[in-house]
């Protein structure tokens, strides 16, 4: 069934300057046709806020379950101000979806709290392939959530530098 509306992030009234930020994107390769536009959306959004291509690192992992450990190891190097973890989980006929979604979500939260570095949650947990496509902006009336994740990344990283 088609979604009535796909929500997106309401823009902040404040502009955030990403030109000094070092950004890490870690993405899964499962459901690649949806992952690819989401990563492109995040990169476009970062660039529109001044994040330099030379300061944007992109790493891939096999599936969403691998996102937390890779983000954790990468953040431990001290080379990044913020990370975006991108994955697409689509419900199948077994309990796999529930276990991976729960474990990945909890672990990404723990990684950002332990690292004290923002980790943007770019994991779609969809019941159907069509839901995922709409959230990657691939179908009419859809919206690419990668754009929102790029906005959230710059906002969180800039705010974190103000706090410390």
Our finding on whether 118 is near ligand DLZ (CB under 6 A) is: no
C-beta closer to ligand DLZ: residue 135 or 151: 135
Tokens describing residue 16: 């955030």
For residue 93, count other CB atoms closer than 10 A to its CB: 6
Our finding on whether 28 is near ligand DLZ (CB under 6 A) is: yes
- CA 53/CA 46 separation, integer angstroms: 9
Residues 66-85 that bind ligand DLZ (CB under 6 A): 66
Interface with ligand DLZ (CB under 6 A), residue from 83, 84, 100, 154: 100
Tracing tokens 């069934």 back to the chain, one arrives at 1
Q: How far is the CB of 150 from ligand DLZ (least distance, A)?
A: 20
Tokens describing residue 20: 């000094």
Counting residues that bind ligand DLZ (by CB under 6 A) gives 15
- Tell me if residue 145 is catalytic: no
**H or E stretch at 23:** strand 23-28
**CB-closest chain residue to ligand DLZ:** 63
Tokens describing residue 93: 């006929």
Q: How far is the CB of 65 from ligand DLZ (least distance, A)?
A: 4
């Amino acid at each position: 069934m088609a979604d009535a509306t796909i929500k997106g992030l309401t823009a902040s009234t404040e502009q955030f300057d990403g030109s000094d930020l070092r950004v890490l994107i870690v993405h899964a390769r499962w459901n690649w046709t949806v992952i690819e536009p989401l990563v492109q959306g995040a990169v476009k959004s970062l660039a529109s806020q001044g994040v330099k291509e030379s300061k944007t690192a992109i790493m891939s992992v096999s599936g969403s379950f691998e996102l937390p450990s890779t983000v954790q190891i990468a953040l431990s190097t001290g080379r990044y101000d913020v990370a975006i973890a991108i994955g697409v989980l689509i419900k199948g006929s077994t309990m796999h979806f529930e276990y991976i979604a729960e474990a990945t979500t909890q672990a990404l939260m723990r990684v950002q709290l332990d690292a004290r570095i923002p980790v943007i949650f770019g994991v779609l947990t969809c019941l159907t392939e069509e839901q995922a496509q709409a959230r990657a902006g691939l179908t009419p009336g859809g919206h690419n959530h990668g754009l929102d994740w790029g906005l959230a990344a710059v906002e969180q990283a800039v705010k974190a530098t103000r706090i410390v």
